[in-house]
Amino acid sequence: MKALRCNELGGPEKLSIEDIPVPELNTNEVLVGIKSASVNFPDVLMIQGLYQYQPPLPFTPGAEAAGIVEAIGSDVKNFKIGDKVFVMAGAGCFAEKIAVEEVRLHPIPSEMDFDVAAALSMTYGTSIFALKQRANIQAGETLLVMGASGGVGLSAVELGKAYGAKVIAAVSSEEKASVCKEHGADETIIYPADGLDRDQQKEFSNTIKNLTNGLGANVVYDPVGGTYAEPAIRATAWDGRYLVIGFAAGEIPKPPLNLALLKNCQIVGVFWGAWTAMFPAENLANFNELFSLYKAKKINPRITDRFNLNNAADAIAHLGNRKAVGKVLVDV
């Protein structure tokens, strides 16, 4: 079968399409024929050896996909051949087939196609966990989403609206801002694309405060980090929650902790992947809620770019180069 292979850590240019054997099944595993896969920032980090979970070399990148069950191991209980499934594998999805433990699969509801299913798990799974379990967001609160037109960002914009929050979307361009508006953002802020100096940080904080009647944002969803993080914490409301989602800007911020004291706010870590392994029943309940929201047309993953499996390395490069808006798909 065809698969995108990482034989050596580095940029997408080091990846190659190869013919490898179809994986053999363990008794608790399911073989899925992949129809559609999607790119996430962790793929960009993993091929460089920079992600918190690293498979041994050589490996096939690709954290999530959707497809059809083609074979099952003798101990598999919940799936049968022909079932349509979400695959949340962490790696291995940029390939024609994947063998995964059944706990990493969910059935796809009948009203959802393979592309939407491939685009939904990691982004909306992270955002619903962040906003519900970690921030306990309430209707009427203000949610600031940084990097808001990206994969996790846009899902947080939609979920924030679904939970009745006022959503402020912060992005690096007019084009990205208008995408956030289309997905429900009430206000947008455009920040400089190449990081913020001290004056720009002050201006960013002041803009957030001006949009929140001087009170600051109740919840800040931050997948960007870098020099954007500290001014966002400075513009967090009393009793606010600043959610540490990721560091797409490439730098882990080190904000002074007196800010948490002065704001009486919480700096809250979010590690969705580890949580799903510890709390599968709660994660399943979140997914069922996401399916209801999708059915009610309150969430709708935006798919803006498509690549085929032969060009999957270009798909990873596209996202890594900050060109992605919403989700980037790989048709398998």
Ligand X SMILES: NC(=O)c1ccc[n+]([C@@H]2O[C@H](COP(=O)([O-])OP(=O)(O)OC[C@H]3O[C@@H](n4cnc5c(N)ncnc54)[C@H](OP(=O)(O)O)[C@@H]3O)[C@@H](O)[C@H]2O)c1
Binding site for ligand X (CB under 6 A): 40-42, 122, 126, 147, 149-153, 171-172, 176, 193, 223-224, 245-250, 270-273, 319, 322, 324
Give the separation between CA 73 and CA 71, rounded to whole angstroms: 7
Give the separation between CA 145 and CA 229, rounded to whole angstroms: 11
Q: How far is the CB of 151 from ligand X (least distance, A)?
A: 3
Strand ranges (DSSP E) for 58-171? Answer: 64-72, 84-88, 97-101, 105-107, 142-146, 166-171
**Closest to ligand X by CB, 30 or 146:** 146
Number of helical H runs and strand E runs in the chain: 10, 15
**Closest to ligand X by CB, 261 or 278:** 278
Question: What is the strand order of the sheet 266-269 is part of?
Answer: 187-190, 166-171, 142-146, 217-222, 236-244, 266-269
- Which two three-digit tokens encode residue 222? 């931050």
Q: How far is the CB of 187 from ligand X (least distance, A)?
A: 15
Q: How far is the CB of 215 from ligand X (least distance, A)?
A: 24
Q: How far is the CB of 22 from ligand X (least distance, A)?
A: 29
Give the separation between CA 91 and CA 246, rounded to whole angstroms: 18
Q: How far is the CB of 299 from ligand X (least distance, A)?
A: 15
Q: How far is the CB of 249 from ligand X (least distance, A)?
A: 4
**Closest to ligand X by CB, 31 or 328:** 328
> Dihedral through CA 146, CA 133, CA 157, CA 268, nearest 10?
-10
**Closest to ligand X by CB, 98 or 196:** 196
Give the separation between CA 193 and CA 189, rounded to whole angstroms: 12
Nearest position to ligand X, beta carbon? 150
Give the separation between CA 252 and CA 225, rounded to whole angstroms: 6
**Closest to ligand X by CB, 198 or 323:** 323
Give the separation between CA 37 and CA 301, rounded to whole angstroms: 14
**Closest to ligand X by CB, 28 or 266:** 266
- Which two three-digit tokens encode residue 28? 């608790």
C-alpha dist (Å) from residue 69 to 79, 109, 207, 225, 308 = 8, 15, 50, 39, 21
Grouping H, G, I as helix, E, B as strand and the rest as coil, residue 126 is helix
Give the separation between CA 303 and CA 134, rounded to whole angstroms: 27
- Which two three-digit tokens encode residue 319? 């996202």
Q: How far is the CB of 171 from ligand X (least distance, A)?
A: 4
**Closest to ligand X by CB, 150 or 301:** 150
**Closest to ligand X by CB, 47 or 72:** 47
Q: How far is the CB of 44 from ligand X (least distance, A)?
A: 8
Q: How far is the CB of 201 from ligand X (least distance, A)?
A: 15
**Closest to ligand X by CB, 42 or 216:** 42
Grouping H, G, I as helix, E, B as strand and the rest as coil, residue 194 is coil
